[in-house]
Amino acid sequence: MKKIAIWALAAVTLMTSCDLDRFPYDKYSKDKIDADKVAAFDILLNGCYAKLKSASDVFHRTGEYPGDNICKDKPTTNPFGTYITYQHTVNNSQLSSTWNNAYNIISQTSDLMKMANEGESPEIDQKLGEAYYMRGLMYFYLCRVFGRPYYQEPEKNMGVPIVNGMPDDIANLQLPDRSSVKDTYAQAINDLKKAESLMTTYTSASYASKYAAQAMLAKIYMYMSGTFENPNTDYAKESLKYADDVINSGKFSLLSRTSFMRYNELAPDDASQTETIFAVKFISSDITSYTSAIGSMYATINEVGWGEIYASAKYLDILYETGRGNDAREAFIHPDYKLDDKGNKTRNFRFVANVVANGKVSGYTYKQCDVKVGSDGKLVAAVLDSKEYPLTLLDEASRKYSIVYEGTTYYGYDDYFMNTSQGHPKFFNYKCSMQEGVSHLYSPIISRLGEVYLIRAEANAKLGNYADALKDLNTVRERSIVNGGYQTLNASNAHQLIMKERQLELAFEADRGFDVYRVGDTMTRHYPGYHDGTIEFLATSPLVVQYIPKSEIDAYPGTLTQNP
């Protein structure tokens, strides 16, 4: 049974495309492949791209849900709920899908590499390069989920098994245990460098290219460069080099502020799309049930979608820092305002208060209050439970006020009453929805130029090149906040400002759950949600990484060591 199960995991897997259904790989003789190798490669590569669709879904959830951009309204029976609560389990079907999808892609791309030799033709080299790109991407993504942050003894900590295709002797199959984090990253880097050297054609951001390989190499070396306080400068230099390659290629440009505010609406191969380097393209027919789409959890649009995961109070705070409506990234957040019979909103004051039990903070809750307004149009008091609480204006641009409630001073915002679920205002996120105007259609972003600028900023900061780092940081920031660039960047604030900008810019793109830990930060989620907001997770916590599913360990022909 073990051998059968692992064969299902690692063998060449047939994907859901019409061509693949007509011409499955096991029907391809060597003569047929040799007769039209480019066509054979096309069919099998399309299968790999198809499998990336399933992989991108589960990888999104492992990357975004453990982070602090989100607030889940209530418990869920879906296995991804454990990512939010950090209640890890060895019996998680979502993680089994993560593992299997990745290794299916690793296996099929590995077999593709055996079908042809480098140098046969530019077309074959391009397709080989795309296969190497996908294999390297999967090793990196797997290691982010199951392996510890790179700066923490990568030679000792375990990554994932390196299994590049199946051995000839299936009857006596024995596969290796997990390689180290260091060796897993090395495998990903070798694949991506090979991909970069082979690919010469750029079609669109829907397909892998040498630029996609360079962008991913810049990101991997950024992960390897460690913390801001104790960086590995050799890896920072490599990250800088590859970020330079992408930026200086001239192939991509940042979208304008106005265009970026509708970034979610643009397919990766849209003619006006200049920023995306590689994305896993979905079309409407790929989504058989919108309730299972990534964006479905983040919003209810046209009465479609679960709409149970909202932008967190923490994310909204940093989004509002420069004033309401000033940051272009606010365009992705759609508050679900409550309307009266005439379609009007009702002004209120909203803040987050502590929940106290036995003299200690045990959680957090939203308070939505009626308001009294002065003759100047500013708030004077909040009315809660028939009691008035004076309000003090803290910042006019963000409409931020302070309130003393039950002996504690809080801050909150002048806004409007919102629809809630379990007491949580529904701050819907559209970043993963509305591609081409279709509810919850979304092509998950793997690499885009905005992040590459932030990667280069981080690399330069870790190398002490603060002027260069500030320039790139502000290139991204000022695209969203007109004249909102940071004035200075130095050793005392680079860590905070660069990571804050990454959180603002890359929210809901499946990075935050890894970003916090890779630089040695602590995950703090002191805001409402069904998670326990009082618990903080250190980068050294065992809960930073996921368990390998027990089903995969049981099926594995050989030793597969579990995470502690």
pLDDT confidence of residue 56: 96
pLDDT tens-digit readout, 532-559: 999 999 999 999 999 999 999 999 999 9
pLDDT tens-digit readout, 93-117: 999 999 999 999 999 999 999 988 9
Angle formed by the axes of helices 210-224 and 233-248, nearest 10°: 160
Helix (H, G, I), strand (E, B) or coil at 190: helix
DSSP letters, 327-379, are SGGGGGEEE-B---TTS---EEEEEEEEEEETTEEEEEEEEEEEEEE-TTSSE
Q: List the beta bridge partners of residue 349.
A: 369, 414
Nearest to 445 by CA among 511, 508, 509: 509
CB 488 within 8 A of CB 313: no
What are phi and psi for residue 187, nearest 5 degrees? Answer: -65, -45
CA–CA separation, 69 and 310 (whole Å): 8
Q: Which residues of the chain have pLDDT under 50?
A: 1-27
pLDDT confidence of residue 29: 56
C-alpha neighbours within 13 Å on the C-beta side of residue 483: 1
pLDDT confidence of residue 25: 42
How many other CB atoms are there within 10 angstroms of residue 323's CB atom? Answer: 16
CA–CA separation, 70 and 81 (whole Å): 12
Q: Say what the pTM is.
A: 0.94
Please measure the distance between the N-terminal and C-terminal CA atoms of the chain and give it in whole angstroms: 26
pLDDT confidence of residue 32: 66
Q: List the beta bridge partners of residue 414.
A: 349
